[in-house]
Amino acid sequence: MSRKSKLQLPFAEWPTEDRVLWGEAFKPGDIFDEKTNGADLAVATRKALQVSYAEFLRFVASRHQSLLNLRPEGRIDRQIISKFVAWLRRSRSDSAIAISLHHLRLALRRISPDTDWSWLLIITKRIWAQAPRKAKKHHLATSDRLRVLGNKLIRDAIAAAEAAGHVEKSHAIDYRDGLIISFAALFLLRRRSVTALRIGKHLIKVGDRWELEVPGADMKNKESMDYPISEELSGQIDVYLNRFRPLIPGAVKHDGLWASNKGCPMSSGAVYDAVFKRTKKAFGYGINLHRFRHGGATFWSMHDPINVRGAKDLLGHSSFDPTEKFYIAARTRLAGRALARAIDTLTET
């Protein structure tokens, strides 16, 4: 059992009332009911809420077991939260604790909706505001650089196969990883959407080209997205499906676009590890798929600042606000370059 799981009270060991309340809070509701419930949340979000609540129950069970006999709203007050925070500080930073408290509050709002939890929000914000901030790392690669890397991995895999006279599993995995990076650089999907891609369901052949259709269920904002795929990338997909993917063990037994070495589609963690490893080797620092989205928005803002608001739709944001910070960051860099050029001009005269 991992250390993280040891910090959580297993669901089977939760008090009966908590398990009942949790089930009620997250069961599908009547679409005509004004009250919302946890069924409208993404799977990853529901999981995050359950983890934080299970951590709190583990703390209560180990330090204040008698409180488990009370309803959720009866066992939580400022004093208990203060002790819970001190317990968490043994293994995590204040910024991480603030995130845990945020998820705990959201969970409590679902299972005890008639209780005012605003006081917990205030505490969470205070901890977040006072948490030391790590220096920002400018480990950012724009979409053009990432696409170049993807193409290089693809070309290298083809060259290695031709040199060997046949396709080996290692060549297929190199090609696959290059195609993943190219996909992520061009379509800026979240990791869970990249991982969920299925041949014939999300990736559809129309004539000589492929199209990418991502249903709302696989998107954070619940809105479906359709992407036309270029002739070049369509050709690379054909080569992958016909020549390289079949060499990955078990690939013919499932429709997952990204076949793993374990006879099943790659997991979210496997996709993360593959992309991080490849980018670290190429750039000297690893880039996760979320940073691909940063790189896409930054690339757009640098090369087409007039139409940068279109990045909102590409990223699947409901408003421009979360997109704007990437645009501002790029504008700052452009301004810095302009200033440097001006200084160089004055120095030369």
Domain boundary among 269, 284, 299: 284
Give the C-alpha separation, 237 to 243, whole Å.
10
Within-domain flag for 332: no
- Please tell me whether residues 124 and 219 are part of one structural domain: no
Calculate the alpha carbon distances from 95 to 102, 106, 111, 129, 295 in Å: 11, 17, 25, 8, 25
The pLDDT assigned to 214 comes to 76
The residue out of 100, 130, 160 marking a domain boundary is 130
Query: Which regions of the chain are under pLDDT 50?
Result: 1-3, 31-32, 34-35, 299-300, 303-313, 315, 317-343, 346-349
Q: Are residues 110 and 161 in the same domain?
A: no
290 domain-assigned: no
Q: Token pair of 241, please?
A: 């499906």
Quick one: pLDDT at residue 131? 85
Q: Report how far residue 16's alpha carbon sits from residue 60's, in angstroms, rounded to the nearest whole number.
A: 15
Q: Last residue of some domain: 76, 100, 130?
A: 130
Domain count of the fold of the chain: 2
Q: Do residues 53 and 118 both lie within one domain?
A: yes
List pLDDT tens digits, range 222-247.
Answer: 566 777 888 999 999 999 999 999 99
- Please report whether residue 293 resides in a domain: no
Pair type for strands 209-214 and 225-228 = antiparallel
- Residue 294 inside a domain? The answer is no
**H helix runs in 16-142, sequence order:** 16-25, 43-63, 72-75, 78-88, 94-111, 118-130
Verify that 182 and 217 share a domain, yes or no: yes
Shared domain check, 46 and 101? yes
Residue 9: domain span: 3-130
Same domain, 121 and 148: no
In a domain, 206, yes or no: yes
311 vs 306: CA distance, rounded Å: 11
pLDDT at 5: 60
Q: Is 132 helix (H, G, I), strand (E, B) or coil?
A: coil
| Separation CA 114–CA 116 (nearest Å) | 7
Tell me whether residue 228 is in a domain: yes
Same domain (yes/no): 148, 274: yes
Secondary structure class of 37 (helix, strand, coil): coil
Residue 273, class by beta-carbon neighbours within 10 Å (0-12 exposed, 13-18 middle, 19+ buried)?
Answer: middle
- CB-CB contact of 75 with 67 (8 Å): yes
Domain shared by 229 and 264, yes or no: yes
CA-based torsion, 4, 68, 118, 321: positive or negative: positive
Is residue 160 domain-resident? yes
The CATH number of whichever domain residue 178 belongs to comes to: 1.10.443.10
Are the C-beta atoms of residues 153 and 183 closer than 8 Å to each other? no
Please state the φ and ψ torsions of residue 259, each to the nearest 5 degrees. -75, 135
Q: What is the dihedral of CA 8, 105, 99, 7, to 10 degrees?
A: -10
Both 159 and 215 in one domain: the answer is yes
Contacts by 65-73, CB closer than 8 A, 24 or more apart: 68/15, 69/15, 71/17, 71/112, 72/18, 72/21, 72/108, 72/111, 72/112, 73/108, 73/112, 73/115
Which residue type occupies 209? R
What is the spatial order of strands in the sheet that 203-206 belongs to?
Answer: 203-206, 209-214, 225-228
Positive or negative CA dihedral for 274, 275, 280, 285?
A: negative
